Protein backbone atom coordinates (compact mmCIF):
# COMPACT_ATOMS: atom_id res chain seq x y z
CA UNK A 1 0.00 0.00 0.00
CA UNK A 2 2.88 2.35 0.75
CA UNK A 3 5.28 2.65 -2.17
CA UNK A 4 9.06 2.97 -1.80
CA UNK A 5 8.99 2.00 1.86
CA UNK A 6 12.23 2.95 3.62
CA UNK A 7 14.15 0.71 6.02
CA UNK A 8 13.04 2.49 9.20
CA UNK A 9 9.43 2.29 8.02
CA UNK A 10 9.77 -1.47 7.61
CA UNK A 11 11.09 -1.55 11.17
CA UNK A 12 7.96 0.26 12.38
CA UNK A 13 5.71 -2.30 10.67
CA UNK A 14 7.78 -5.24 11.96
CA UNK A 15 7.78 -3.80 15.50
CA UNK A 16 4.00 -3.35 15.39
CA UNK A 17 3.59 -6.90 14.11
CA UNK A 18 5.89 -8.30 16.82
CA UNK A 19 3.98 -6.37 19.50
CA UNK A 20 0.65 -7.89 18.49
CA UNK A 21 2.13 -11.39 18.30
CA UNK A 22 4.29 -11.36 21.42
CA UNK A 23 2.40 -9.23 23.95
CA UNK A 24 -0.36 -11.78 24.76
CA UNK A 25 1.97 -14.72 25.63
CA UNK A 26 4.34 -12.38 27.50
CA UNK A 27 1.42 -10.96 29.50
CA UNK A 28 0.14 -14.47 30.23
CA UNK A 29 3.59 -15.63 31.32
CA UNK A 30 3.91 -12.64 33.65
CA UNK A 31 0.46 -13.19 35.16
CA UNK A 32 1.18 -16.91 35.58
CA UNK A 33 4.40 -16.11 37.43
CA UNK A 34 2.64 -13.51 39.56
CA UNK A 35 -0.02 -16.01 40.60
CA UNK A 36 2.15 -19.11 41.10
CA UNK A 37 5.60 -17.55 41.65
CA UNK A 38 6.86 -20.12 39.18
CA UNK A 39 7.83 -19.80 35.53
CA UNK A 40 9.25 -22.49 33.29
CA UNK A 41 8.27 -22.24 29.63
CA UNK A 42 8.13 -25.26 27.35
CA UNK A 43 6.52 -25.51 23.94
CA UNK A 44 5.08 -28.19 21.74
CA UNK A 45 3.12 -28.56 18.48
CA UNK A 46 -0.22 -30.33 19.04
CA UNK A 47 -0.29 -31.60 15.46
CA UNK A 48 -2.83 -34.34 16.16
CA UNK A 49 -5.36 -31.80 17.42
CA UNK A 50 -4.59 -29.60 14.40
CA UNK A 51 -5.09 -32.44 11.93
CA UNK A 52 -8.38 -33.47 13.58
CA UNK A 53 -9.64 -29.89 13.22
CA UNK A 54 -8.53 -29.65 9.58
CA UNK A 55 -10.20 -32.96 8.72
CA UNK A 56 -13.44 -31.92 10.43
CA UNK A 57 -14.20 -29.32 7.76
CA UNK A 58 -15.68 -27.06 10.46
CA UNK A 59 -14.54 -23.44 10.11
CA UNK A 60 -14.89 -22.74 13.83
CA UNK A 61 -12.78 -25.79 14.71
CA UNK A 62 -10.15 -24.88 12.13
CA UNK A 63 -9.90 -21.28 13.37
CA UNK A 64 -9.61 -22.55 16.95
CA UNK A 65 -6.99 -25.18 16.12
CA UNK A 66 -3.64 -24.68 17.89
CA UNK A 67 -0.42 -24.41 15.90
CA UNK A 68 1.91 -24.07 18.89
CA UNK A 69 1.17 -24.37 22.61
CA UNK A 70 3.32 -22.90 25.38
CA UNK A 71 3.17 -24.22 28.93
CA UNK A 72 4.26 -21.35 31.18
CA UNK A 73 4.52 -23.52 34.30
CA UNK A 74 6.02 -26.76 33.03
CA UNK A 75 6.52 -29.22 35.89
CA UNK A 76 3.95 -27.51 38.12
CA UNK A 77 0.74 -29.18 39.30
CA UNK A 78 -1.23 -26.87 37.01
CA UNK A 79 -0.37 -26.09 33.41
CA UNK A 80 -0.80 -22.46 32.36
CA UNK A 81 -1.10 -23.00 28.61
CA UNK A 82 -1.04 -20.34 25.90
CA UNK A 83 -1.97 -21.57 22.42
CA UNK A 84 -1.24 -19.82 19.11
CA UNK A 85 -4.49 -20.75 17.37
CA UNK A 86 -5.13 -20.13 13.67
CA UNK A 87 -7.95 -17.58 13.92
CA UNK A 88 -6.49 -15.21 16.54
CA UNK A 89 -3.02 -15.58 15.01
CA UNK A 90 -4.24 -14.46 11.57
CA UNK A 91 -6.19 -11.58 13.15
CA UNK A 92 -3.11 -10.52 15.13
CA UNK A 93 -0.99 -10.55 11.96
CA UNK A 94 -3.48 -8.39 10.07
CA UNK A 95 -3.99 -5.96 12.96
CA UNK A 96 -0.25 -5.62 13.51
CA UNK A 97 0.44 -4.93 9.83
CA UNK A 98 -2.39 -2.41 9.45
CA UNK A 99 -1.39 -0.59 12.64
CA UNK A 100 2.22 -0.38 11.44
CA UNK A 101 1.12 0.91 8.01
CA UNK A 102 -1.04 3.58 9.64
CA UNK A 103 1.86 4.77 11.81
CA UNK A 104 4.12 4.90 8.73
CA UNK A 105 1.51 6.81 6.71
CA UNK A 106 1.04 9.35 9.49
CA UNK A 107 4.80 9.82 9.80
CA UNK A 108 5.02 10.43 6.03
CA UNK A 109 2.18 12.94 6.14
CA UNK A 110 3.84 14.80 9.03
CA UNK A 111 7.16 14.87 7.16
CA UNK A 112 5.39 16.61 4.26
CA UNK A 113 3.87 19.23 6.53
CA UNK A 114 0.41 17.67 6.80
CA UNK A 115 -1.62 17.45 10.00
CA UNK A 116 -2.49 14.11 11.62
CA UNK A 117 -4.26 12.99 14.75
CA UNK A 118 -1.59 11.00 16.61
CA UNK A 119 -3.96 10.37 19.50
CA UNK A 120 -6.14 8.20 17.29
CA UNK A 121 -3.16 5.95 16.50
CA UNK A 122 -2.50 5.29 20.18
CA UNK A 123 -6.22 4.65 20.70
CA UNK A 124 -6.28 2.16 17.81
CA UNK A 125 -3.11 0.48 19.08
CA UNK A 126 -4.46 0.19 22.62
CA UNK A 127 -7.85 -1.16 21.57
CA UNK A 128 -6.25 -3.55 19.08
CA UNK A 129 -3.91 -4.98 21.70
CA UNK A 130 -6.73 -5.25 24.25
CA UNK A 131 -9.01 -7.28 21.99
CA UNK A 132 -6.03 -9.35 20.82
CA UNK A 133 -5.31 -10.29 24.43
CA UNK A 134 -9.02 -10.97 25.00
CA UNK A 135 -9.30 -13.23 21.95
CA UNK A 136 -6.19 -15.24 22.84
CA UNK A 137 -6.49 -18.92 23.70
CA UNK A 138 -5.02 -19.41 27.15
CA UNK A 139 -6.10 -21.18 30.27
CA UNK A 140 -5.29 -22.97 33.47
CA UNK A 141 -5.37 -26.73 32.99
CA UNK A 142 -4.85 -29.51 35.51
CA UNK A 143 -6.14 -32.68 37.08
CA UNK A 144 -8.90 -30.73 38.88
CA UNK A 145 -10.01 -28.75 35.82
CA UNK A 146 -9.28 -25.11 35.26
CA UNK A 147 -10.42 -21.85 33.73
CA UNK A 148 -10.62 -23.21 30.18
CA UNK A 149 -8.88 -21.85 27.11
CA UNK A 150 -11.40 -19.09 26.35
CA UNK A 151 -10.67 -15.87 28.21
CA UNK A 152 -7.84 -17.40 30.19
CA UNK A 153 -5.67 -14.28 30.19
CA UNK A 154 -8.58 -12.12 31.32
CA UNK A 155 -9.53 -14.65 34.00
CA UNK A 156 -6.03 -14.87 35.46
CA UNK A 157 -5.81 -11.05 35.52
CA UNK A 158 -8.57 -10.98 38.13
CA UNK A 159 -11.84 -10.83 36.18
CA UNK A 160 -14.56 -13.31 37.04
CA UNK A 161 -14.80 -16.40 34.86
CA UNK A 162 -18.18 -15.36 33.41
CA UNK A 163 -17.01 -11.83 32.58
CA UNK A 164 -13.81 -13.14 31.02
CA UNK A 165 -15.76 -15.64 28.91
CA UNK A 166 -18.16 -12.95 27.64
CA UNK A 167 -15.32 -10.55 26.75
CA UNK A 168 -13.42 -13.38 25.07
CA UNK A 169 -16.47 -14.30 22.97
CA UNK A 170 -16.89 -10.67 21.85
CA UNK A 171 -13.20 -10.03 21.13
CA UNK A 172 -13.02 -11.85 17.75
CA UNK A 173 -15.95 -9.79 16.42
CA UNK A 174 -14.26 -6.59 17.61
CA UNK A 175 -11.07 -7.75 15.90
CA UNK A 176 -12.92 -8.18 12.60
CA UNK A 177 -14.56 -4.75 12.98
CA UNK A 178 -11.15 -3.21 13.74
CA UNK A 179 -9.60 -4.84 10.67
CA UNK A 180 -12.35 -3.37 8.46
CA UNK A 181 -11.98 0.06 10.10
CA UNK A 182 -8.18 0.00 9.83
CA UNK A 183 -8.28 -0.96 6.15
CA UNK A 184 -10.58 2.00 5.48
CA UNK A 185 -8.33 4.27 7.54
CA UNK A 186 -5.28 3.11 5.55
CA UNK A 187 -7.03 4.04 2.29
CA UNK A 188 -7.97 7.44 3.73
CA UNK A 189 -4.39 8.12 4.86
CA UNK A 190 -3.04 7.05 1.46
CA UNK A 191 -5.26 9.62 -0.23
CA UNK A 192 -4.23 12.24 2.31
CA UNK A 193 -0.59 11.35 1.67
CA UNK A 194 -1.03 11.90 -2.08
CA UNK A 195 -2.60 15.30 -1.40
CA UNK A 196 0.26 16.26 0.92
CA UNK A 197 2.77 15.17 -1.75
CA UNK A 198 1.04 17.33 -4.37
CA UNK A 199 0.96 20.33 -2.03
CA UNK A 200 4.62 19.96 -1.05
CA UNK A 201 5.62 19.63 -4.73
CA UNK A 202 3.69 22.80 -5.59
Residue 52 domain-assigned? no
Residue 12 domain-assigned? yes
Q: Taking 90 as the threshold, does the pLDDT of residue 18 lie above it?
A: yes
Look up the domain containing 112 and give its range.
Answer: 7-37+86-201
Prediction pTM value: 0.79
Stretch 116-120: mean pLDDT = 64
Domain count, the chain: 1
Residue 46 domain-assigned? no
Among candidate residues 164, 24, 3, the one with its CA nearest the CA of residue 93: 24
Residue 92 domain-assigned? yes
Please report the pLDDT score of residue 162 as a whole number.
75
Residue 71 domain-assigned? no
Give alpha helix (H) positions in 4-58: 7-36, 47-56
Band of the pLDDT at 94, cuts 50, 70, 90? very high
Please report the pLDDT score of residue 93 as a whole number.
92
Residue 194 domain-assigned? yes
Among candidate residues 73, 90, 81, the one with its CA nearest the CA of residue 20: 90
Amino acid sequence: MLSRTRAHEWLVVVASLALFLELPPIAYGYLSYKQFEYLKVTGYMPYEELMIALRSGSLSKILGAPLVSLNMTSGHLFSNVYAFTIGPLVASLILGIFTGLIIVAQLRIQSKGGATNSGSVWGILGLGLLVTVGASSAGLLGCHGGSGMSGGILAISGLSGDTAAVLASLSPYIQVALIVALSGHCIHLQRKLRQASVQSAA
